[in-house]
């Protein structure tokens, strides 16, 4: 019940295209859902985060869509660029603890 | 904010040796977290502190692992009698209590441990 399932494992997108990464969770007590970007050899960097009281949040080219009833949330990267090539992790937190439960990651490659 | 810093960035050790990592959180962040990340996986929670109190520990944190945060500032993670399975990236994150709900965690660059 503490797991966060992330898909796809890897994704290849053409420059200018839309990258979509999906996550699903079981624990309805989770109340915070961040997305992180990680480059090889670096720590994860926060991209965008959402709480369950909203269904969508947009920051620049990055949008989180949140479906509370389906217990799913997704990251959309608009106008994907080669510099976006990285591994993306979704996470969830709440239920009386502040730790994050991370998904297994999606390796994104944007072709020039 | 100068960000979360971790030292050393890389550590190579022989099996059976003890190692210690240090994390300096963003100033005024009262919560500090340790995670472990193996190749191709997401970070896994190890433990967290609120100020100097260690409030939660994962089952992943065996008796060989110990973490401290004296005076609620920097933190150290020690691994005794290292094993090859301890080889991983050890990540530190910090956050500031937001007054309601979960905080946003900011990660450091990590310490990559290789146990030979």
Min Cα–Cα distance to chain B from A106, Å: 9
Contact A91 B107 (CB under 8 A): no
In the predicted structure, residue B85 carries a pLDDT above the cut 60: yes
Per-residue pLDDT of B1-44, as tens digits, reads 579 999 999 999 999 999 999 999 999 899 999 999 999 899 99
Per-residue pLDDT of A13-65, as tens digits, reads 999 999 999 999 999 889 999 999 999 989 999 999 999 999 999 999 999 99
Q: What pLDDT does B60 receive? A: 82
Q: How many CB atoms lie within 10 A of CB A39?
A: 12
Judge whether A99 is closer than 8 Å to chain B, CB to CB: yes
Q: What pLDDT does A1 receive? A: 60
Q: What pLDDT does B81 receive? A: 97
Q: What pLDDT does B33 receive? A: 97
Give me the mean pLDDT over the B47-71 stretch: 92
Residues A67/A5/A35/A106 CA torsion (nearest 10 deg): -130
Burial (Cβ within 10 Å: 0-12, 13-18, ≥19) of residue B103: buried
Q: Which residue in the block uniquely carries the two structure tokens 């699903």? A: A24
Beta strands in B69-107 (DSSP E): 75-79, 88-95, 106-107
Q: Please name the residue of chain A whose CA is at the shortest distance from the CA of residue B92.
A: A43
Chain A interface test: which of B1, B4, B105 (most A C-beta within 10 Å): B105
**Residues of chain A positioned with their CB less than 8 A from the CB of B96:** none
- The Cα–Cα gap between A20 and A92 comes to 18
Q: What pLDDT does A43 receive? A: 94
Q: What pLDDT does B82 receive? A: 97
pLDDT class of B99 with cuts at 50, 70, 90: low
In the predicted structure, residue A87 carries a pLDDT above the cut 80: yes
Contact B31 A89 (CB under 8 A): no
**Residues of chain A positioned with their CB less than 8 A from the CB of B39:** none
Q: Which residue in the block uniquely carries the two structure tokens 């991983």? A: B88
Burial (Cβ within 10 Å: 0-12, 13-18, ≥19) of residue A10: exposed
Give exposure, A77-90, as e/b (b: 16+ Cβ within 10 Å): beebeeebbbbbbb
- The Cα–Cα gap between B114 and B17 comes to 12
Contact A36 B107 (CB under 8 A): yes
Give exposure, B14-26, as e/b (b: 16+ Cβ within 10 Å): eeeeebebebbbb
- The Cα–Cα gap between B15 and B5 comes to 26
Q: How many CB atoms lie within 10 A of CB B116?
A: 10
């Amino acid at each position: 019940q503490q797991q966060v399932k992330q898909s796809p494992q890897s994704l290849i997108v053409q420059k200018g295209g839309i990258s979509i990464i999906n996550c699903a969770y079981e624990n309805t007590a989770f109340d915070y859902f961040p997305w992180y970007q990680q480059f090889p050899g670096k720590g994860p960097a926060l991209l965008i985060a959402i709480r369950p009281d909203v269904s969508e949040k947009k920051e620049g080219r990055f949008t989180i869509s949140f479906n509370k009833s389906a217990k799913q949330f997704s990251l959309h990267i608009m106008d994907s660029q080669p510099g976006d090539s990285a591994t993306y992790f979704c996470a969830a937190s709440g239920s009386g603890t502040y730790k994050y439960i991370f998904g297994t990651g999606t390796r994104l490659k944007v072709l020039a | 904010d100068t960000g979360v810093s971790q030292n050393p960035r890389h550590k190579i050790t022989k099996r059976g040796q003890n190692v210690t990592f240090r994390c300096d959180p963003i100033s005024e962040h009262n919560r500090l977290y340790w995670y472990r990340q193996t190749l191709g996986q997401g970070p896994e929670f190890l433990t967290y502190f609120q100020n100097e109190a260690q409030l939660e520990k994962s089952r992943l944190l065996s008796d060989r692992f110990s973490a401290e945060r004296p005076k609620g500032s920097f933190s150290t993670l020690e691994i005794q009698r290292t094993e090859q399975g301890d080889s991983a990236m050890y990540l530190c994150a910090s956050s500031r209590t937001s007054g309601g709900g979960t905080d946003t965690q900011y990660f450091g660059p990590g310490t990559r441990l290789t146990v030979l």
